[in-house]
Structure 1
Amino acid sequence: MHIEQAGATASIAVFESPVISQDCAEALQSLGFNVTTLALNEDNVMGLMSTRPDYVLTINFNQYISEVCELLKIPYLAWVIDTPCYPIYDKAINHSHSFTFIYDAAVARRLRQSGVRQVYHLPVAANMARIGQFQYEHQDSSFENEISFVANLTRTEYRTAILPHLSAQTGGCCQRLIDSLDQPEGFLNLSAQLGDELLSAIKQESGYPLAGDHYLSVAEKLAYLLGREHSWRERIDIIQELEKRFSVVVYGNDEWQAQVSSYVGHADHFTQMPGIFQRSKINLNIIRSFVESGLPMRVFDVLSCGGFLVSNDKDDLHRLFTDGKDLVIYRDNQDLLDICAYYLEHDEERRSIAQHGRVTLEKNHTFVQRMTDMLTTVQSELRGEPGAFSRWYR
C-alpha cells in the first residue's frame, strides 16, 4: 500500500508506552516519517500546540490528547491493545480528527453500532528485527522449560471491593454468572443477563461506585468486572491442573506466589521473554474470557521468537493463523492436558509448527504492515473515502 506524506517528510509524534510504542516508532521511521517520541505527560500533550506534528499516535486511547488534536485539527491515531480500555467509551472517541484502531473486532464493531464512525479493527504485531537481534546464552539452562506461562495475575475489584459486602443471594447470582463464562461464548450474552434488580442490589450492598460511560452501560461495566474475576480464577485453575502432570514454570507478578507452586518471578519483556519463548517446549496462552475475539501481544511475541504456542480459542486465531500449522488451539482443560502430553513427546512436529508460525508472522503480522494499514486508512478518511473496517472482517 502507498502512504501519502504531507510535504517532503510527514511528522508524527508517538507518545511512549511500556511495550510497543518504540516498535511503532521504528516502523514509522522505516516508512519515511519524521518520528518524535514523547513521554506521556501534560507538558508534552500541551506542547503539541507549538510543535503541531502532522499526526499523533498513542497506544490505547487518551481523551485529553483527542481533545487537543481536535482543537488543532491534527489526525489523532489511537491503537487500543487492552481490554477493557475504559477511555474508548468517552464521547471524545467520536471527534472528527480521532481515528481509533482496536485489536478486538467485537469491541470496534459495537462502538460503530453505537454511532462511532472512525473506529477500526487492527490486530497487534511483532517486531521481527528486534527479536532477530536478541541473543541468549546457550549455556544458560534456566529458560529450558517443558511448559511456560508468562502473564500477570491481577486481583480484581470484584474480589476486593464488591464480593465481601454482598448478601448470600446476590453473591450467588454473581457466582452463577461468573461460572457461565466457562462456556466459550459466555461473555457475549453476559451484560444482557444483568438486570436492573441485580445491578441495584450490587450497588446498594457493596457501596461500589459502579458507573458506565457515554458508550458503556452500567451492565457492560459490571460484565467486565465479573469477566476479570472469572479470568483470575481460570488462570489459577489451569496452572494447578497442569502442575499435577507436567513441569510448569510461571513468570509474572507476585500475586501468583500464593496460588501456584510453579511461580518463579518476573520476566522482563525485552530482555528475558524472548529467551523463555525460544527455549520452552510449550508456551501457554490463556486469553481472558472477557476478550471476545482479539489476540494479546503474547501470541505475536511467542511466534516471533520461533516458540511453540498452545492457546485457548478466539476468532482472530482462525482469521490470522492456521490451527495445527502455526500454533495449536485447545478447547477445554482436558484438551489442553492431552495436547501438552502429545507435543512433549513429538519434538519434530512441535518444532515444525513453531517454524511455520514464525514464517506466517513475518509474512503477515509486522509493525510495518500495521502502521501501513493504519496510515492508509486515515489518509483515505481524510480524502473523504471511508476506510475499511478491517482486513479480516467485513
Structure 2
Amino acid sequence: MICAKGSAGIGIGMNVLFPEWKNFGKEDMLDAMHNLGINVICVEFEAIHDRVNPEAEAKLDALIEEYLNKGDDSDAVFTFNYSPLISNVCKKHNVKYVAWVYDSPLVSLFSYTIINPCNHVYVFDRALADRFASEGITTVHYMPLAANVRRLDAMHVSPSGNGRGLAPEAVKRVSGDIAFVGSMYNEKHQLYERLSSMPDFAKGYLDGIIEAQMKVQGYFFMEEMLKGPVLEEMKKALDYKPNRDGVETPEYVYANYFLARKLAERERRHLLGMLAEELPDSRVNLYTHNPTPELPGVHNVGAVDYYNDMPYVFKCSRINLNISLRSIQTGIPLRCMDIMGAGGFLMSNYQADLLEHFIPGEDFVYYESDEDLISKCRYYLEHDEERRAIAANGHIKVAAAHTYEDRVRQMFM
C-alpha cells in the first residue's frame, strides 16, 4: 500500500494518504514527495467524484485509522482536485486535507463542505481564489501548477543510454513548426448541443455572447450575461439543479460547462485553420483524439501520451500553442507549465497569472488577436535564435520556482 517511502529529508516522518484516481501529475507528485522525505500511502479511489458513498467513506475511515496520526498537523490526506466526500471524512477524524486543483471548471468547489476547517484547498486560478476570498472563505488559496523539470530534462531527443531517448524514426511525428496539444471539444453529444430545443432568439443570444467572448482576452463575462428570459429558456431545454450539498448557480454551470467548451471548439478550430491558411509554408500539427476533417491544412497527428510522448512534442516543435479554456479566467494552464518545463517555446493567449510569474517576450510570448498571433508566429519562425533564447529563459524560470518539490514545500511544510 505504501507507494513512495520517503528518503531522509525535511519531510521525514510525515505521512500522507493519497487516494488517487486517473489524473495527470500522480507520478510527478510521488517523485517530489519521495525526494522530500514524505511517506506516501497510495490507494485507488475512483469515488472522488461522489458526494455520498458509504463504502468509500468506510474505506477511508480504516486507512486514516491505520496510517495517520489524527489531530497531528504534519500528517495529511492529499488529492488532485477537491472531493467533498474526502473532506467530510477528514473533518470527522480531525485530519488535514490538502487538495490541489488543476481542473477548470470544478463544480465540487462549490460544495458547502469547502468551509470545513480541515481543508487546505489550492486552486491555480487567481481570479477563482479571489472569488472565494470575497465571500470570506479562508480554506481556498492560490497555487500555480508545476512541472517535473528533472524528468523532462532526462527525456532526450536523440537515443541515450538511460533508455528514455527518442529514436530518430519517431522524431518526425513530434516535430513541426507550430503545435497544439489538446482537446478540440468536437465530441458528439457536447453539452451545448443539448440546448438545441431553445427558441431562435435564445440560440442567437448565446451565439452572440460566445462570439463576443472570443474577441475579448483577459475577462470572462459569459456567466454574468446569463439572466432573464435566456436563462429560463436554457432551464427549459436542460434544467440544472444544484447538488444537494452545493451552492453553485445555474449561471455558473451553463457558462463554464456548456458555453465555455463550445467557445473552445470554435476558437481552436478557427485559430488553427487560420494559421494553416496564413502560413502555408509552415507545418501546423494538432495532437488530439478526434478527427478534424474541417481543418484540411492542419496535420492531425492523433493523441499523444501525457508522460511518454507529449514532452517530445514540446521539445521538437518550434512554437507550442496554448489556447486556454475560458473557464480558466486568469490562471496558468497546466499545458503552459508542461511546455516551458520541457524547454519548449510557449505562445499563449493572454492569461493574467502568467504575467505574475513570467515576463512576456523574455520567458514566453502571448498574442492579443488573430492578427497578432499570425504576426508573432511568422516572426518567431523566422528568428530561431531569439525563439530559442525565450524558450531557455522560460525553462530556467520553471526549474527555479515551479517544480513539484516547490509546491510540496508550500503546501505541506
TM-score of the superposed pair, with normalisation by structure 2: 0.84
Match of 2:136 among 93, 104, 115: 115
Paired with 1:188 and 1:257, the residues of 2 have a C-alpha distance of: 27
Match of 1:20 among 21, 25, 28: 25
Paired with 1:361 and 1:184, the residues of 2 have a C-alpha distance of: 28
Corresponding residue of 1:176:
208
1:1-394 counterparts in 2 under 5 A? 9-16=13-20, 17-41=22-46, 42=56, 44-53=59-68, 54-134=75-155, 135-138=165-168, 140-154=171-185, 155=187, 157-162=190-195, 164-184=196-216, 188-204=220-236, 206=237, 208-212=238-242, 214-224=246-256, 225-244=258-277, 245=279, 246-254=282-290, 256-261=291-296, 262-376=299-413
Instruction: Name the SS of the counterpart of 2:214 in structure 1.
Output: coil
1:186, distance to aligned residue in structure 2 (A): 7.4
Instruction: Name the SS of the counterpart of 1:265 in structure 2.
Output: coil
- Summarize deviations over 1:206-250 as a string: whole Å, max 9, x none: 1x1323453422222222121221111101111111111231010
Contact 1:14 1:21 in 2 (8 A): no
Query: Match of 2:42, as an amino acid?
Result: T
Contact 2:16 2:40 in 1 (8 A): yes
Q: CA RMSD in A?
A: 1.9
- Summarize deviations over 1:281-308 as a string: whole Å, max 9, x none: 1111111222110011111111111111
Paired with 1:177 and 1:186, the residues of 2 have a C-alpha distance of: 15
Instruction: Name the SS of the counterpart of 1:257 in structure 2.
Output: coil
Corresponding residue of 1:383:
none
1:87, distance to aligned residue in structure 2 (A): 0.8
Paired with 1:361 and 1:85, the residues of 2 have a C-alpha distance of: 25
Query: Structure 1 residues 187 and 327 mapped into 2: Cα distance closer, same or farther (>3 Å)?
Result: closer
Query: Match of 2:65, as an amino acid?
Result: S
Contact 1:70 1:95 in 2 (8 A): yes
Paired with 1:143 and 1:127, the residues of 2 have a C-alpha distance of: 20
Query: Structure 1 residues 199 and 186 mapped into 2: Cα distance closer, same or farther (>3 Å)?
Result: farther
Contact 1:148 1:250 in 2 (8 A): yes
Instruction: Name the SS of the counterpart of 2:268 in structure 1.
Output: helix
1:15, distance to aligned residue in structure 2 (A): 2.6
Paired with 1:230 and 1:51, the residues of 2 have a C-alpha distance of: 47
Paired with 1:372 and 1:259, the residues of 2 have a C-alpha distance of: 46
If asked which structure has higher relative contact order (CA below 8 Å, sep 6+), I would say 1
Paired with 1:203 and 1:209, the residues of 2 have a C-alpha distance of: 4
Paired with 1:217 and 1:187, the residues of 2 have a C-alpha distance of: 19
Query: Structure 1 residues 44 and 11 mapped into 2: Cα distance closer, same or farther (>3 Å)?
Result: same
Contact 2:346 2:365 in 1 (8 A): yes
Contact 1:125 1:366 in 2 (8 A): yes
Query: Match of 1:30, as an amino acid?
Result: N
Instruction: Name the SS of the counterpart of 1:141 in structure 2.
Output: helix
Instruction: Name the SS of the counterpart of 1:130 in structure 2.
Output: helix
Query: Match of 2:193, as an amino acid?
Result: T
- Summarize deviations over 1:306-330 as a string: whole Å, max 9, x none: 1111111100110111111111111
Task: State the number of aligned residues.
Answer: 368
Instruction: Name the SS of the counterpart of 2:99 in structure 1.
Output: strand
Corresponding residue of 2:160:
none
Paired with 2:154 and 2:269, the residues of 1 have a C-alpha distance of: 34
Query: Match of 2:178, as an amino acid?
Result: I
Paired with 1:183 and 1:302, the residues of 2 have a C-alpha distance of: 25
Paired with 2:331 and 2:216, the residues of 1 have a C-alpha distance of: 14
Instruction: Name the SS of the counterpart of 2:174 in structure 1.
Output: coil
Question: Is the deviation greater in 105-114 or in 276-285?
Answer: 105-114
Contact 2:213 2:221 in 1 (8 A): no
Paired with 1:65 and 1:259, the residues of 2 have a C-alpha distance of: 43
Query: Structure 1 residues 4 and 211 mapped into 2: Cα distance closer, same or farther (>3 Å)?
Result: farther
Contact 1:238 1:333 in 2 (8 A): yes
- Summarize deviations over 1:67-94 as a string: whole Å, max 9, x none: 1111111100010111101111111111
Query: Match of 1:199, as an amino acid?
Result: L
Contact 1:181 1:227 in 2 (8 A): no
Query: Match of 2:25, as an amino acid?
Result: I
Contact 1:25 1:37 in 2 (8 A): no
Contact 1:38 1:44 in 2 (8 A): no
